[in-house]
């Protein structure tokens, strides 16, 4: 399982939080170079975290489009690790609820957390 962090310069606290909660490999795209819009997601990407304070609009839109095409959950957050922790907790709860709803034949499981 891979978690992709897009944006941000100093993401060690985000990496530490995700690695302790999810036990996943973490890849970081800073988004500072021109070619980041054209990159494809790493294999086995299960979650994309966009740090909004450090991402331009074109990169945010490109990541949003790629995640929606691939069906990968997308989390938007600011520089706060506590905000990310809260949103990751909500994803886990929502995934459990959606799994149960999908088993019963209900709605779409992919949600966006802003």
What digits encode the pLDDT tens for the residues 49-61? 999 887 888 899 9
- The span from the CA of 10 to the CA of 1, in Å, is 22
In the prediction, which pLDDT does 1 show?
A: 83
- The span from the CA of 16 to the CA of 41, in Å, is 21
Residue 101: pLDDT over 90: no
Chain length of the chain: 114
Write down the residue that tokens 């036990």 correspond to.
Answer: 23
- The span from the CA of 22 to the CA of 5, in Å, is 14
Q: Where is pLDDT greater, at 69 or 34?
A: 69
In the prediction, which pLDDT does 43 show?
A: 87
Question: 71 is written with which tokens?
Answer: 């069906």
In the prediction, which pLDDT does 8 show?
A: 86
For residue 44, which of 4, 102, 17 has the smallest C-alpha distance? 4
Is 0.85 surpassed by the pTM of this model? no
Helix (H, G, I), strand (E, B) or coil at 105: coil
């Amino acid at each position: 399982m891979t978690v992709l962090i897009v944006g941000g310069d100093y993401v060690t606290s985000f990496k530490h939080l995700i690695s302790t909660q999810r036990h996943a490999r973490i890849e970081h795209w800073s988004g500072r170079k021109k070619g980041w819009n054209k990159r494809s997601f790493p294999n086995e990407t299960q979650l994309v975290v966009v740090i909004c304070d450090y991402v331009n609009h074109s990169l945010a839109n490109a990541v949003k489009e790629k995640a929606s095409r691939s069906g990968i959950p997308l989390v938007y957050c600011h520089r706060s690790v506590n905000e990310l922790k809260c949103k990751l907790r909500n994803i886990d709860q929502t995934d459990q609820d959606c799994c149960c709803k999908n088993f019963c034949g209900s709605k779409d499981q992919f949600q966006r957390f802003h």
